[in-house]
Amino acid sequence: MLLIFCFLGLVLIDAAALPKGVPHTIDKYRPVQSNQYRCYVSDELIDFSFVNDDFCDCLDGTDEPGTAACAGSPSVAAFWHAHGEEAAFSSTFYCPQKGSKPKVVPASEVNDGVCDCCDGSDEWQGLTPCKNTCWDEGALFRQRKQQIEQGIARRERFVKEGHTVLASVKAELEKEKATLPQHEATLKELEKEEDELKRLEAEKKAKERKKEEEGESQEQQQPLQSEEEALPPVSNVEPATQAEEPSPSPPTLPPAPASPPVQQDDDLDALDDDEVPTDCHEWGEDGKCHDKDHEHDEDEEGLIGEEDEMDEDEYYEEGEDREWEDSRRRAEGSPENATELDKIRTKVSDTRHHVTEAKKKIDHLEKKAKDLESKPEYAHLYHKCVETNSDGYVYEVCFFKDAHQKKDHHSTNLGRRWKWDISTGNLDEDVMLLEGGQSCWNGPARSLKVRFVCGIEEKLQNVSEPSRCVYEVNMMSPAACRPHHLDEFKFLGDSSQQQHDEL
């Protein structure tokens, strides 16, 4: 007799520990007060043996989670309607489905002769034999779980590599900051030396100019020979010739410093009055006026004048130091002709360029360090561009930089200022915002939200435009995989062995 009671006690305890149709997370289905069950909401006390006895004893119907006894009961429906709550356990049956994902089925389908659960738990009365197919159905879940586990491992590696990159960036930044003052000091010294050479060069040119002006002044003060002294004597002319025909007036000479040779009187006698040149700018050694040559010279002067009028800016870039450029060419092209000023100008230019580039590099390194500080696991994506096609458009995202929408050789900027979105308050969700894109017609500036999703392969997917000119896209990456992503697969448990149970 004692053995019989012990056996019944074990059965009741086992039934209480695992009632059919109830999730393992529910603790309400435990015997209380001398092996009694307290109804989940209506709070009546019934004997625990009445649980799942195919008769509805509780007003809330929670005593029959594993049968269809309370399904569709008017009294149970009225109770839940009066309380304004959902009849979570009186209208559904929980299928454990070990090896696959658990699910719930309507309580009316319990023991109806149809295998609704892959483990056959809904047909627990055995009216219909059900084969356990949960292992096959759970293959996709196990595969997804394995991918997440691999992603978590890769993310841990990305974090370590990101910290290494960040440390390298900071070290390079400190090095550039330390050497910049030295370059700036060198530039100042070279600029001082350049200024001194410019001053000496200016003084030298001023002295040469003054000397030239003094020489020109002395030449102008020397007495000029009169035209009478410059003309040859006419005593050689025969008296008879002088008597017969008076000598014509000598031709008018141009006011040139060097007077042309004057023809002898006997040559002048051979010319008629109208043949004597009255306006000659160039005289030949033969005593004749060379007007054609003069016309040719005028043409050449015209050409020279046109060249002088050519804009010198055509030979230089905008803002370029022409004087320095000339000296640099001389210094580099023919060192023997380069002056000290040319050489120092070249050094100043090179040093100034080096300082400018160093400052640009410092700005770049400071920005990169700031970008990677909070999420170093994404360092491998820094300025990396990824594309995807959607609805005839190509969407390109360059992380930590900008994004574009492309079609038919036309590109529209979707955002050029980026930041991490922390507005959701979920620190385990990585969302990058790209703002300040090209403005829409009579609308806002375009923007793009990049939501990182746990995945093995890094690619863009699911482009959408939830509101005008506001775009969203998912970016699969192992860097987004975290341990909490495995929580949804806890139902798999230790699924290393295939289940073959049949009920």
- Tokens 């030949």 belong to residue: 284
Look at residues 78, 77, 99, 103 and name the one whose alpha carbon lies nearest to residue 90: 77
pLDDT band with cut points at 50, 70 and 90 for residue 319? very low
With pLDDT > 70 as the criterion, what percentage of the chain qualifies?
A: 66
Residues 20, 121, single domain; the answer is: yes
Residues 15, 120, single domain; the answer is: yes
pLDDT band with cut points at 50, 70 and 90 for residue 318? very low
Q: What is the pLDDT of residue 349?
A: 94
Q: What is the pLDDT of residue 51?
A: 87
In a domain, 172, yes or no: yes
pLDDT band with cut points at 50, 70 and 90 for residue 332? low
Q: What is the pLDDT of residue 270?
A: 42
Residues 198, 113, single domain; the answer is: no
Q: What is the pLDDT of residue 338?
A: 63
Check pLDDT > 50 for residue 302.
no
Structural domain that includes position 28: 2-132
Contacts of 122 (CB under 8 A, 6+ apart): 93, 95, 105, 109, 110, 111, 115, 116
Check pLDDT > 80 for residue 5.
no
Look at residues 291, 241, 243, 292 and name the one whose alpha carbon lies nearest to residue 270: 241
In a domain, 40, yes or no: yes
Check pLDDT > 50 for residue 309.
no
pLDDT band with cut points at 50, 70 and 90 for residue 285? low
Q: What is the pLDDT of residue 36?
A: 87
Check pLDDT > 80 for residue 280.
no
- Asked if 70 and 92 touch (Cβ cutoff 8 Å), the reply is no
In a domain, 353, yes or no: yes
Residues 200, 327, single domain; the answer is: yes
Residues 113, 196, single domain; the answer is: no
- Name the DSSP letter for residue 259: P
172-to-71, 184, 327, 354, 383 alpha-carbon distances in Å: 71, 18, 36, 16, 19
Sign of the torsion angle spanned by Cα atoms 102, 105, 110, 113: negative
Residues 6, 128, single domain; the answer is: yes
- Asked if 26 and 41 touch (Cβ cutoff 8 Å), the reply is no
Centroid of chain to Cα 90? 56
Q: Residue 203 region, left (φ>0) first, then alpha (ψ -120 to 50), else beta?
A: alpha
Check pLDDT > 70 for residue 493.
no
Residues 330, 474, single domain; the answer is: no
17-to-10, 30, 62, 316, 461 alpha-carbon distances in Å: 10, 7, 16, 92, 46
Total count of residues recorded for the chain: 503
Q: What is the pLDDT of residue 80?
A: 67
Check pLDDT > 60 for residue 234.
no
In a domain, 426, yes or no: yes
CATH number at 444 reads 2.70.130.10
Condensed to tens digits (0 to 9), the pLDDT of residues 139-197 reads 999 999 999 999 999 999 999 999 999 999 999 999 999 999 999 999 999 999 999 99
> What does pLDDT average to over the chain?
76
- Asked if 90 and 98 touch (Cβ cutoff 8 Å), the reply is no
Q: Please state the rounded mean pLDDT for residues 448-453.
A: 96
HEC secondary structure over 276-300: CCCCCCCECCCCCECHHHHHHHHHH
Condensed to tens digits (0 to 9), the pLDDT of residues 419-431 reads 998 877 677 789 9
pLDDT band with cut points at 50, 70 and 90 for residue 312? very low
485-to-121, 448, 454, 490, 493 alpha-carbon distances in Å: 28, 25, 8, 10, 15
Tell me the DSSP string of 169-211.
HHHHHHHHHHHHHHHHHHHHHHHHHHHHHHHHHHHHHHHHHHH
Check pLDDT > 80 for residue 2.
no
d(CA 489, CA 495): 11
Check pLDDT > 70 for residue 103.
yes
In a domain, 360, yes or no: yes
Q: Please state the rounded mean pLDDT for residues 249-264.
A: 48
Q: What is the pLDDT of residue 368?
A: 94
pTM of the model: 0.59
In a domain, 216, yes or no: no
d(CA 241, CA 248): 12
- Strands 447-454, 470-477: pairing is parallel
Question: How buried is residue 199: exposed, middle or buried, by Cβ count under 10 Å (0-12/13-18/19+)?
Answer: exposed
Residues 356, 425, single domain; the answer is: no
415-to-85, 123, 324, 397 alpha-carbon distances in Å: 47, 57, 42, 9
Residues 405, 451, single domain; the answer is: yes
Q: Please state the rounded mean pLDDT for residues 440-457.
A: 94
| Enclosing H/E stretch for 432 | strand 431-436
How many domains does the chain divide into? 3
Least confident of 36-40, 257-261, 284-288: 257-261
Q: What is the pLDDT of residue 116?
A: 94
- Asked if 64 and 54 touch (Cβ cutoff 8 Å), the reply is yes
Check pLDDT > 70 for residue 60.
yes
Q: What is the pLDDT of residue 418?
A: 92
In a domain, 394, yes or no: yes
Residues 331, 417, single domain; the answer is: no
Q: Please state the rounded mean pLDDT for residues 113-134.
A: 91
In a domain, 284, yes or no: no
Q: What is the pLDDT of residue 25?
A: 64
With pLDDT > 90 as the criterion, what percentage of the chain qualifies?
A: 42
Residues 392, 462, single domain; the answer is: yes
Check pLDDT > 50 for residue 314.
no
Domain end, chosen from 132, 151, 176, is at 132
Contacts of 260 (CB under 8 A, 6+ apart): 253, 280, 282, 283, 284, 287
Residues 79, 194, single domain; the answer is: no
